[in-house]
Chain A
């Protein structure tokens, strides 16, 4: 007998992470509302640092950790090593996140900020050990496993460097200035953690949800080596020499890796058996477009940086916004309604299927709310990002208001799914 058996314990872990992430998303949008002016300045600003960490950790990482406990067993085709470790990781992560974000917001780089950072480091280490021991149970190696495990290592390194940067505020650890290491910290997180993890998981899930006949993983292998190669090259080169003309070459290598992944997705899309693409999947495809836009801003960042033009800071802000609030957010907003309804549906209907006519997983969320959420999110993208680029406050305000609506609709829809009551439509 095969197939992943969902235990009540696993259900609680996954759902807790989803709910915590949804609340963080709402808090994030409120934090943004109180920091509108900060979006027109430098990214090394207390409120921007707090917002970035809330977005990257409370929103993006929190939901990825939760979804991982459900999806990594699917992707790696084995059961999760330990539910207890998952809870320990969560219990360390939440206080760490709150302490760190608050310390950044008020900018007191003392013991609280340091404790928050250490708690987060312990949380991600426990998560990585859990993933490693889960993967170890499996005999056959896949490229998805390489993506996921490399992502976990990058997450640990990102947070470890983050801890060092936090300590560097009070104890001089690094000879160079903070911004030099911030670049490395940000890219290890964005490319090493988010990109590798999301490619690893989506390369298994997208073909599964589209019922695609494309099975070849050669493109994913190229993608993996090109992206990891570019990241390592960037980290070493940028650490030693800062940005230079070589950075264009590094960008080209990384972009080639990303292109391989996009071609893979395109091939899955073309060979899909399921012709109808639902709204959650549409959100996911929107996220790929936003990722492409983010990537296209990189040559401008390098160009203006090499010319010592301060416009580079504005492009860096736009890049970060497209990555965190564009690509990652759009992907989460869509994939939540592909994964969560399934998790809840299994709990309510597994024992009833075949006996009674039951709702399908897609019937568990409110379709109208999801449509409204997609529209408000699109308004956010179309106003906030241009507003930040043009330094036009009214557009930024409209964008953040739209994001708050998106967060409220998202949270409401999550609760609709979670509080679903079992119903049947008569015997089969």
Chain B
């Protein structure tokens, strides 16, 4: 799960983007990718209007992987005009069930 540095001038925008990414749902679980703990962090290059989302998938060859990645890019570019988004898929740390937020667990009925 991403953390925010208050001294970072982009921290507010990062947090806003994280909130926006709650609109991206896992098509099988019907839970947003933030509460699933799939997004590890966001880097913003404000002058160039570039956003890099560092995230993972629940399995390295998740059949819905392409769709989720494409949804993340569409979501950022659709909500932040002029911004270009890229997604960096990482496998370290490996996603586990502990990555799910409390809200995610509540939504899953745990």
Contact = CB atoms under 8 A, between A and B. Distances in A.
A102 B66 CA distance: 43
A332 interface: no
A352 B25 CA distance: 12
B78 A3 contact: no
A345 B97 CA distance: 26
Contacts of B60: 2, 77
Nearest to A71: B63
Instruction: Name the interface size band of chain B.
Output: 35 or more
B39 to A, nearest CB: 13
A353 B24 contact: yes
Contacts of A351: 70, 74
A70 B65 CA distance: 14
B18 to A, nearest CB: 14
B17 interface: no
Contact of B64 (A70, A342, A428): A342
B107 to A, nearest CB: 10
Contacts of A245: none
B61 A354 contact: no
A78 B63 CA distance: 11
B110 interface: yes
A326 interface: no
Contact of A276 (B63, B66, B109): B109
Given A275-B110, A428-B78, A346 B61 contact: no
Given A2-B61, A4-B66, A211 B78 contact: no
Contacts of A139: none
A5 interface: yes
A73 interface: yes
Contacts of B44: none
B57 interface: yes
Interface string B66-110: 111111111110110000000001010000110010000000111
Contacts of A23: none
A354 B89 contact: no
Contacts of B109: 275-276
B58 A211 contact: yes
Contact of A2 (B24, B57, B67, B75): B57
Interface residues of A, number: 33
B74 A275 contact: no
A355 interface: yes
Contacts of A77: 60-61
Given A73-B61, A213-B97, A276-B109, A360 B27 contact: yes
Contacts of A209: 28
B66 A428 contact: no
Contacts of B69: 1, 3
Nearest to A6: B66
B32 to A, nearest CB: 11
B78 A354 contact: yes
Given A274-B108, A350-B66, A3 B74 contact: no
Contacts of B63: 4, 70, 74, 342
Nearest to B63: A74
B48 interface: no
Interface in A309-356: 342, 345-346, 349-355
Nearest to B65: A3
A87 to B, nearest CB: 22
Contacts of B65: 2-4
A421 interface: no
Contacts of B79: 428
Interface in A66-81: 70, 73-74, 77-78
A229 interface: no
Interface string B1-39: 000000000000000000000011101111000000000
A273 interface: yes
Given A1-B89, A346-B67, A353 B97 contact: no
Those 8 A-B pairs whose CB atoms lie nearest each other, nearest first: A3-B65, A354-B74, A354-B71, A353-B71, A354-B75, A77-B61, A275-B109, A355-B74
Interface of A: 1-6, 70, 73-74, 77-78, 208-209, 211, 213, 273-276, 342, 345-346, 349-355, 360-361, 427-428
Given A211-B28, A351-B74, A354-B71, 6 more contacts: A2-B89, A3-B61, A211-B108, A273-B100, A275-B110, A353-B27
Interface of B: 23-25, 27-30, 57-76, 78-79, 89, 91, 96-97, 100, 108-110
15 contacts: A2-B57, A2-B60, A4-B63, A70-B63, A77-B60, A213-B96, A273-B97, A276-B109, A342-B64, A346-B64, A346-B67, A353-B68, A353-B74, A355-B74, A428-B79
